[in-house]
């Protein structure tokens, strides 16, 4: 419990039981242009916290100190990490910790650090079956049905505690409440695809049943993009054109919803899939006529149904026209303009664009379950920003890092340029974020993908190659984990703009 006097706060420097500790002030340069106006209480708590961390004190009073620091700044990863170290050393009361963390989550629902701490505690709580995690996330999602942190934690709990059985019913309840709840549709696909473990749960029978489920909701609300995206995900592995029911449904819906952009885009993709994979066509159809129909749909999107993304639809039409032909005279000017922009603006060839789009879909379908996500940075497909979570049971556990990826014109025959944009203290990462990893250089293979690269970099965080360091200090300290952790914390403090 925090000390109080007459209902007020007692500074740590005035507490007799802390008289043996010399507070450690924040190291700020005299030349600092703009100092943060910390309150006296904030500075006092964190001065004593730094002192305890430097001494690596693991006691009940240090544990209480971290609680005060977290109350002042619940987003401070370093404080949470220190608290976990203390709890582990003291064999702390995990039941009490769960109750504490629950209250903090309900007050700070979009705080990555507290959700991660909750996961750490849940795995160490004797007899835990995950029920409390579903209850907590359900409570949060009732207030904010699109809370990313709650959904990520819920997916982790379902995997870790094997709680797949009732989740489909939960998603159906959410979809019935709000059919536009994209998170609920995504969760439904997550459960269907992963509940069988290593084997995909999207068996032909499941895909057929879920297709009808999605089509039923699309029929009730055609302008809801979430259900259309779910439908695409169901057929991602097999292809849209392998399900004639989709074409039949779209043509029937077109009679009443001709201006629906999601319908037009889906039907154009179905036709493009038929052409790309050379699927059998209906009697009387030719590849030319199918390509022309797809171009007509894209023309409607560009000029009427979705004019705000006109340039994008012209780009798609130009790509399709270049690969499969088709007749659409009124699009000719737009197609030529789009083609010129592809070559002079982004500088990305059609083959590279298709390859990167395929890898992006692969990465998104994994849902970040391996601690790695990435997405194009801006309008160019050739530049991506990735996010890596530090591996468990490593000095980087709980950390989150940003990386940049730039793809050369001859990718995948030459690897991307990858570097950390978040400062990272690691034996194989230099001050500029450059990474020493063989698969990014001499051992690169055209078989590798963005996912391969990110998982390899994440693995490198836990298992560095000290024989080829870019950071000699980090390599020298790596064997001594306590010393390495202290230097790493100091490095993070220095490069994160101050604070603990």
Q: If pLDDT is split at 50, 70 and 90, which confidence band does 492 have?
A: confident
Q: If pLDDT is split at 50, 70 and 90, which confidence band does 155 have?
A: very high
Q: If pLDDT is split at 50, 70 and 90, which confidence band does 92 have?
A: very high
Mean pLDDT of 291-313: 91
Q: pLDDT tens for residues 61-83?
A: 999 999 999 999 999 999 999 99
pLDDT over 80 at 337, yes or no: no
Q: pLDDT tens for residues 249-280?
A: 999 999 999 999 999 999 999 999 999 999 99
The set of residues, in sequence order, having a beta carbon less than 8 Å from that of 429 and lying 6+ positions away, is 420, 435, 436, 470, 471, 474
Q: pLDDT tens for residues 202-222?
A: 999 999 999 999 999 999 999
Give the DSSP letter of residue 12.
Answer: G
Which strands make up the sheet holding 417-420, listed edge to edge?
372-376, 383-389, 400-406, 417-420
Residue 23, number of CB atoms within 10 A of its CB: 18
Catalytic residue among 52, 260, 424, 436: 436
Query: For the chain, what percent of residues have pLDDT higher than 90?
Result: 71
DSSP string, 201-247: S--HHHHHHHHHHHHHHHHH-TT-HHHHHHHHHHTTTT-GGG-HHHH
Domains of the chain in sequence order: 350-495 (3.10.110.10)
pLDDT over 90 at 325, yes or no: no
Least confident of 48-57, 74-83, 367-376: 367-376
Average of per-residue pLDDT values in the chain: 89
Question: Is this model's pTM higher than 0.75 or not?
Answer: no
436 is catalytic: yes
Q: If pLDDT is split at 50, 70 and 90, which confidence band does 199 have?
A: low
pLDDT at 339: 44
């Amino acid at each position: 419990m925090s000390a109080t006097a007459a209902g007020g706060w007692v500074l740590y420097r005035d507490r007799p039981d802390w008289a043996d500790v010399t507070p450690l002030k924040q190291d700020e340069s005299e030349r600092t242009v703009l100092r943060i106006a910390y309150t006296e209480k904030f500075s006092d708590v964190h001065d004593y916290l730094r002192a305890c961390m430097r001494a690596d004190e693991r006691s009940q009073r240090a544990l209480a100190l971290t609680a005060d620091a977290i109350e002042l700044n619940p987003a401070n990863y370093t404080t949470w990490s220190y608290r976990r170290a203390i709890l582990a050393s003291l064999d702390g009361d995990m039941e009490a910790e769960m109750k504490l963390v629950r209250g903090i989550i309900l007050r700070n629902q979009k705080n990555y650090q507290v959700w991660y701490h909750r996961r750490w505690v849940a795995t160490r709580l004797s007899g835990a079956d995950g029920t409390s995690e579903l209850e907590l996330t359900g409570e949060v999602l009732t207030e904010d049905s699109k809370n990313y942190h709650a959904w990520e934690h819920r997916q982790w709990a379902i995997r870790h505690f094997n709680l797949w059985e009732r989740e489909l019913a939960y998603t159906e309840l959410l979809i019935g409440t709000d059919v536009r709840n994209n998170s609920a549709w995504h969760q439904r696909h997550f459960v269907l695809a992963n509940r069988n473990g290593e084997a995909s749960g999207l068996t032909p029978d499941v895909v057929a049943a879920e297709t009808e489920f999605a089509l039923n909701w699309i029929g009730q609300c055609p302008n809801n993009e979430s259900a259309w995206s779910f439908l695409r995900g169901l057929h991602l592995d097999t292809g849209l054109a392998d399900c004639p029911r989709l074409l039949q449904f779209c043509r029937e819906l077109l009679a009443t919803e001709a201006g629906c952009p999601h319908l037009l885009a889906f039907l154009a993709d179905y036709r493009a899939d038929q052409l790309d994979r050379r699927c059998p066509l209906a009697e009387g159809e030719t590849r030319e006529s199918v390509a022309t129909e797809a171009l007509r749909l894209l023309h409607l999107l560009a000029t009427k149904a979705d004019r705000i993304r006109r340039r994008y639809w012209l780009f798609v039409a130009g790509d399709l026209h270049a690969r499969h032909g088709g007749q659409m005279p009124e699009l000719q000017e737009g197609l030529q303009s789009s083609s010129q922009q592809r070559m002079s603006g982004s500088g990305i060839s059609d083959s590279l664009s298709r390859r990167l789009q395929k890898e992006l879909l692969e990465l998104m379908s994994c849902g970040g379950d391996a601690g790695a996500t990435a997405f194009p940075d801006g309008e160019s497909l050739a530049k991506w920003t990735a996010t890596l979570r530090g591996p468990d049971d490593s000095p980087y556990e709980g950390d989150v890092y940003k990386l940049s990826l730039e793809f050369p014109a001859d990718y995948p025959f030459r690897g991307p340029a990858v570097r950390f944009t978040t400062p990272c203290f690691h034996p194989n990462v230099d001050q500029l974020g450059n990474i020493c990893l063989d698969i990014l250089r001499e051992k690169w293979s055209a078989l590798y993908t963005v996912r391969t690269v990110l998982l390899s970099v994440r693995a490198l965080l836990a298992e560095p190659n000290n024989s080829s360091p870019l950071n000699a200090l980090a390599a020298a300290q790596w064997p001594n984990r306590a010393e390495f952790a202290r230097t790493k914390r100091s490095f993070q403090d220095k490069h994160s703009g101050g604070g603990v």
